[in-house]
């Protein structure tokens, strides 16, 4: 019983801490845009915080692997790895792309998703999640996920390609391999539409399951 209480407190604390962090990201990029009437400085005001939040999100892979949450380990790892690679490997290492609108779009989409997702997780852990928040959690991603993925992440990868090739980014590592980091990103962009569609369809399927379960719980309580 004590262990269950400790784990519950940990999960609630972790999710609320992430929610607070992403709320700060949202306030910073919106505040910067309002002050300057520009989105050019989004990375300057929030880049390091986004990188820290994404790094700490590796705990979610650990949570899934340890059975603390009912998430798939592979799906959790791929989502974490994709995001962290984008911010840490590409954006943080290529100054020429840091002021592009695609950075702002990605930060905005990510933060809007996370300021909903993390509170929903935290409140669901203790059985206090309101119905509207559960609905929002499994609905907001429908427009935000493709906007962040295509108008933000994928677009920036494409915009970064000339700089990756020119600087031979991570050349010291990829020189040992039969392909360059540039080729790796190009291959990823080719495969991305298929992987993205598969994940998006999975998320839509999960939405139906989660909302149906929520309706069944409400019906059972009313009986």
Give pLDDT tens digits for 42-68. Answer: 999 999 999 999 999 999 999 999 999
The pTM assigned to this predicted structure is 0.94
pLDDT value at residue 1: 41
Q: If pLDDT is split at 50, 70 and 90, which confidence band does 217 have?
A: confident
Q: pLDDT tens digits for 147-197?
A: 999 999 999 999 999 999 999 999 999 999 999 999 999 999 999 999 999
Residue identified by tokens 């928040």 is: 133
User: Between vectors from CA 44 to CA 25 and to CA 21, what angle results, nearest 5°?
Assistant: 20
d(CA 160, CA 90): 8
- DSSP-derived secondary structure letter, 93: G
Checking if the pLDDT of 201 tops 60, the result is yes
pLDDT for position 214: 80
Lowest model confidence (mean pLDDT) among 29-43, 81-95, 160-174, 204-218: 204-218
- What percentage of the chain carries pLDDT values higher than 90? 89
Half-sphere exposure of 121 (CA within 13 A, CB side): 24
Question: Per-residue pLDDT for 2 more than 50?
Answer: no
CA 149 to CA 84: how far, in whole Å?
Answer: 14
d(CA 196, CA 207): 16
pLDDT at 52: 98
Q: Is the pLDDT of residue 204 over 60?
A: yes
């Amino acid at each position: 019983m004590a262990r269950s209480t400790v784990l519950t407190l940990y999960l609630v604390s972790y999710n609320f801490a992430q929610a607070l962090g992403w709320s700060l990201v949202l306030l910073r990029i919106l505040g910067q845009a309002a002050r300057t009437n520009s989105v050019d400085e989004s990375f300057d005001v929030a880049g390091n915080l986004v990188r820290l939040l994404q790094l700490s999100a590796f705990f979610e892979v650990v949570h899934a692997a340890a059975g603390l949450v009912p998430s798939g380990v592979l799906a959790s790892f791929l989502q974490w790895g994709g995001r962290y690679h984008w911010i840490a490997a590409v954006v943080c290492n290529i100054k020429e792309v840091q002021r592009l609108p695609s950075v702002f779009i990605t930060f905005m989409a990510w933060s809007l998703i996370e300021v909903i997702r993390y509170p929903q997780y935290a409140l669901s852990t203790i059985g206090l999640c309101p119905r509207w928040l559960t609905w929002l959690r499994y609905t907001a991603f429908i427009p935000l996920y493709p906007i962040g993925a295509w108008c933000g992440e994928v677009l920036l990868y494409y915009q970064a390609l000339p700089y990756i090739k020119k600087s031979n980014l991570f050349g010291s590592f990829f020189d040992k391999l039969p392909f360059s980091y540039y080729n790796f990103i190009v291959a990823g962009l080719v495969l991305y539409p298929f992987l993205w569609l598969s994940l998006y369809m999975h998320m839509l399927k999960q939405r139906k399951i989660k909302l149906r379960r929520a309706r069944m719980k409400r019906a059972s309580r009313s009986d």
